[in-house]
Amino acid sequence: MKQGLLMFAVLLAAVVVGSLLGDFSRTVSSIEWMGKTFEVGIDAFTLNLKIFQVTLGFQIHVCVSEILMIIVGLICYPKLRNALGV
């Protein structure tokens, strides 16, 4: 349980820091590639069954710096887990 919460916290921190780095890197010309954003998902569609109507869709916006920070977080997770004794 504690390991799962730690993994969630590490990945959440990695996404937040990666997002901040991506926003910052868009303004710096030498590292603007880190702010490049990719959109993955399914466009919203509507299913109308006369009794009820359902709209479904799924979109994820991911930038390069977020992916890099997630990789760094996954590499650092075992070391952090051992350091905390979890």
Q: Domain count of the chain?
A: 1
Residue-wise pLDDT for 14-33, tens only, equals 999 999 999 999 888 888 89
Cα–Cα distance for residue pair 50/20, rounded to 1 Å? 45
Longest dimension (CA), the chain: 58
Domain extent, residue 27, equals: 2-84
Beta carbons within 8 Å of 24's beta carbon, 6+ residues apart: 35
Label residue 2 by pLDDT band (50, 70, 90).
confident
Report field, pTM of the whole predicted structure over 0.85:
no
Whole-number average pLDDT of the chain: 92
pLDDT surpassing 90 at residue 86: no
